[in-house]
Structure 1
Amino acid sequence: MKKNLLFVMPSLSAGGGEKSLVNLLSQIDFNQYEVDLFLFNHEGIFMEFLPGEVHVLPLPDSYRLFNLPFAESVRKLVFQNRLPLAYCRAMFAFKNAISRSNAVTEQYNWKYLASSLNVLDKRYDVAVGFLEKSSTYFCVDKVQAAKKIGWVHIDYDKLGMDPRFDIKYFEQLDHIVTVSEECTHVLKKRFPEQRHKIEMIYNIVSPTMIKQMANQANIDVYERSHNEIIILSIGRLHYQKGFEMAVEACKILVDKGYKVRWNIIGQGEEHERLAHLIQENGLQNHFRLLGLKSNPYSYIKHADIYVQTSKFEGKSIAIDEAKILNKPILVTNFSTAKDQIKHGYNGWIVEMNPGDIARGIEQLILDEDLRLQLSKNLSQEQLGTEEEIDKLYKLVGER
Structure 2
Amino acid sequence: MGGVPRVVLDLLRNLPKDKFEFTLMLNLYQGELIQDIPKDINLITIEKGKEQMSSSPIIQKMQLAWRRLKLEIYDRFPSLLYAIKVPEQYDIEVSPGYAEFDMVLNSPNKKSRKIGWFHSDVGYDKDEDRVMSRIEKMKRFDFMIFGSKQTRQVIEDLYQVTYPKSTVIYNVIKVKEVLKKAELFVHNYNTKFPVFSSMGRLHNRKGYHTLMNVHKRLLDDGFLHKIAIVGGGNEMENLINQRKQLGVEDSFILLDTQTNPYPYIKAADYFILPTQSESYPLVIGEVMCMRKPIISTNVGGIAEMIEDGIDGVLIKYNENEMYEAMKSFITNPTLVQKLIGGTENAENKFDENEIYRQITEVFENQYKLKLKNERV
TM-score, scaled relative to structure 2: 0.84
3-state SS, counterpart of residue 269 of structure 1: coil
User: Sequence identity, in percent?
Assistant: 21
Query: Does the aligned pair in 2 maintain the 1:180–1:201 contact within 8 Å?
Result: yes
Call closer, same or farther: CA 1:86–1:244 in 2, change over 3 Å: closer
Paired residues for 1:127-206 under 5 Å: 127-133=93-99, 135-142=100-107, 144=109, 146-159=112-125, 160=127, 162-166=130-134, 169-189=137-157, 195-206=163-174
The yes-or-no answer on 1:360 pairing with 2:325 is yes
Q: What is the rounded CA distance, in whole Å, between the counterparts of 1:148 and 1:212 in structure 2?
A: 36
The yes-or-no answer on 1:59 pairing with 2:46 is yes
Query: Which residue among 13, 28, 31 is the counterpart of 2:15?
Result: 28
The yes-or-no answer on 1:72 pairing with 2:62 is yes
Query: Does the aligned pair in 2 maintain the 1:324–1:383 contact within 8 Å?
Result: no
Query: Which residue among 217, 229, 251 is the counterpart of 2:194?
Result: 229
Query: Does the aligned pair in 2 maintain the 1:17–1:131 contact within 8 Å?
Result: yes
Letter in 1 for 2:250: N
The yes-or-no answer on 1:246 pairing with 2:233 is no
How many equivalent pairs are there? Answer: 352
Counterpart of 2:372 in structure 1 is none
Query: Does the aligned pair in 2 maintain the 1:203–1:385 contact within 8 Å?
Result: no
Paired residues for 1:241-280 under 5 Å: 241-280=206-245
Query: Which residue among 45, 48, 53 is the counterpart of 2:32?
Result: 45
Q: What is the rounded CA distance, in whole Å, between the counterparts of 1:202 and 1:74 in structure 2?
A: 36
Q: What is the rounded CA distance, in whole Å, between the counterparts of 1:122 and 1:75 in structure 2?
A: 29
Structure 1 residue 24, shift from structure 2 partner:
2.2
The yes-or-no answer on 1:125 pairing with 2:115 is no
Counterpart of 1:392 in structure 2 is 359
3-state SS, counterpart of residue 210 of structure 1: helix
Q: What is the rounded CA distance, in whole Å, between the counterparts of 1:113 and 1:157 in structure 2?
A: 33
Q: What is the rounded CA distance, in whole Å, between the counterparts of 1:394 and 1:273 in structure 2?
A: 45
Q: What is the rounded CA distance, in whole Å, between the counterparts of 1:41 and 1:69 in structure 2?
A: 18
Deviations 1:170-228 (A, max 9, x none): 343111111111012123456766511121110011211111111112x3x13322x22
Q: Which runs of 5+ in 1 are unaligned?
A: 1-13, 78-84, 93-109
Query: Does the aligned pair in 1 maintain the 2:28–2:45 contact within 8 Å?
Result: no
Deviations 1:71-130 (A, max 9, x none): 8369869xxxxxxx96995xx9xxxxxxxxxxxxxxxxx955859733532111211100
Structure 1 residue 32, shift from structure 2 partner:
2.5
Structure 1 residue 38, shift from structure 2 partner:
0.8
Structure 1 residue 248, shift from structure 2 partner:
0.6
Structure 1 residue 330, shift from structure 2 partner:
0.3
Letter in 2 for 1:208: K
Call closer, same or farther: CA 1:143–1:202 in 2, change over 3 Å: farther
TM-score, scaled relative to structure 1: 0.80
Q: What is the rounded CA distance, in whole Å, between the counterparts of 2:181 and 2:33 in structure 1?
A: 14
Letter in 2 for 1:141: N
3-state SS, counterpart of residue 212 of structure 1: helix
Query: Does the aligned pair in 1 maintain the 2:75–2:103 contact within 8 Å?
Result: no
The yes-or-no answer on 1:209 pairing with 2:177 is yes
Structure 1 residue 33, shift from structure 2 partner:
1.9
Paired residues for 1:330-369 under 5 Å: 330-369=295-334
Q: What is the rounded CA distance, in whole Å, between the counterparts of 2:70 and 2:120 in structure 1?
A: 33
Structure 1 residue 239, shift from structure 2 partner:
1.3
Query: Does the aligned pair in 1 maintain the 2:23–2:42 contact within 8 Å?
Result: yes
Query: Which residue among 258, 261, 265 is the counterpart of 1:293?
Result: 258
Query: Does the aligned pair in 1 maintain the 2:27–2:46 contact within 8 Å?
Result: yes
Deviations 1:339-379 (A, max 9, x none): 22221111112232223212211101111121111111111
Q: What is the rounded CA distance, in whole Å, between the counterparts of 1:348 and 1:324 in structure 2?
A: 15
Counterpart of 2:374 in structure 1 is none
Alpha-carbon RMSD: 2.9
Call closer, same or farther: CA 1:38–1:348 in 2, change over 3 Å: same
Deviates more, 1:113-122 or 1:194-203: 113-122
Letter in 2 for 1:127: E
Query: Does the aligned pair in 2 maintain the 1:178–1:198 contact within 8 Å?
Result: yes
